[in-house]
Amino acid sequence: MIDWKNQIDSNVAVLLKRAADCQIELGTSDLVINQKNVALKKSELSKRWMTLKKNKKEITEEIKSEIKTETSIEISKYRSLTGHNKAICECQKCSLGATRTKFVYGAGNPKAEVMFVGEAPGRDEDLSGEPFIGRAGQLLDKILAAIDFSRDKQVYIANILKCRPPNNRDPQPNEMATCMPYLREQIRLIKPKIICALGRIAAQALLDTQIPLGKLRGSWHEFENTPLIVTYHPAALLRFQKYKKDCWEDIQKLKAKYDILKQE
């Protein structure tokens, strides 16, 4: 008996089975195979297979190219905060672009040694385009003055989001994921010696964690090799006076670290 299984090409075997099934359905007892037709069909299948492989390769390369292009856009390096701001200020990557009044990039010394990061602009910031200028911002200025810091000298202030969420709701994960590359580029350009995360949302976003703010406070962390400390958002201090003592302890710890780094 001929071992057809090991001699017939797998593609031809599929064709033979299909032909046999048709013959059975027609009630024909004899199966007639035209070798010429089989050879032509085999050649056709081979050509289709090669075309498929070629198309697959082209599609794969196209996808890789698109990914490379998209990545290069996200990580492209700018020479200044001004240039970066100009490049992204018309951003419409998430729904907040359609609801904002003004894009809130950041403010302070472009070469600041300490960078404060909040969660998102509020109503006053959305109207003015400047971060932390409402009641919470005024309290932050008082805290900075208490350690002889000012916005135009030692400090730069920004937020995780550049646009105000409607009704001051918490930023959504997709919104933060979209905006984080912008903040990373700001940090790269500024090169701060210390970062201070203001509030739970900013701290968790920067540290990529879900640990509660209370457990993040009191210890030094790192954001891409930059020392990072966590404290309460000034808005929380306005609502809960009891947090002011803890916040002051955090700020004093920041100042002590700053003084040490300045001497190095």
Q: Which two tokens stand for residue 199?
A: 């509030």
For residue 142, tell me if it sits in a domain: yes
Pairwise CA distance, residues 183 & 187, whole Å: 6
Check which CATH number belongs to the domain holding 232 and give it: 3.40.470.10
For residue 112, tell me if it sits in a domain: yes
For residue 30, tell me if it sits in a domain: no
For residue 68, tell me if it sits in a domain: no
- Cβ neighbours, 10 Å, residue 121: 30
Total domains in the chain come to 1
Q: Give the per-residue pLDDT at 67.
A: 40
The three-point CA angle 56-57-58 to 5° equals 90
The dihedral through the CA atoms of 242, 258, 161, 212 has a sign that is negative
Residues with Cβ within 8 Å of residue 124, at least 6 apart in sequence: 133, 134, 137
Beta strand 194-198 pairing with 221-223: unpaired
CA dihedral 229, 156, 245, 223 (to 10 degrees): -10
Q: Give the per-residue pLDDT at 261.
A: 93
For residue 54, tell me if it sits in a domain: no
Rg, the chain, Cα only = 31
End-to-end CA distance of the chain: 88
pLDDT tens readout for residues 37-92: 656 666 776 777 777 666 656 655 554 444 444 433 444 579 999 999 999 999 99
Q: Give the per-residue pLDDT at 69.
A: 40
For residue 187, tell me if it sits in a domain: yes
Residue 18: half-sphere exposure toward Cβ, Cα within 13 Å: 8
H or E segment to which residue 248 belongs: helix 243-263
Question: Would you say 116 and 140 are in contact if contact means Cβ atoms under 8 Å apart?
Answer: yes
Q: Which stretches does DSSP call E strand in the chain?
A: 107-108, 114-118, 155-159, 194-198, 221-223, 226-231
Name the one residue in this structure whose structure tokens are 């070469």. 111
Does the pTM surpass 0.75? The reply is no
For residue 152, tell me if it sits in a domain: yes
Which residue stretches of the chain have pLDDT < 70?
Answer: 1-42, 45, 52-76
Residue range(s) defining the domain that contains residue 258: 81-263
SS3 233: coil
Question: Would you say 98 and 84 are in contact if contact means Cβ atoms under 8 Å apart?
Answer: no
For residue 75, tell me if it sits in a domain: no
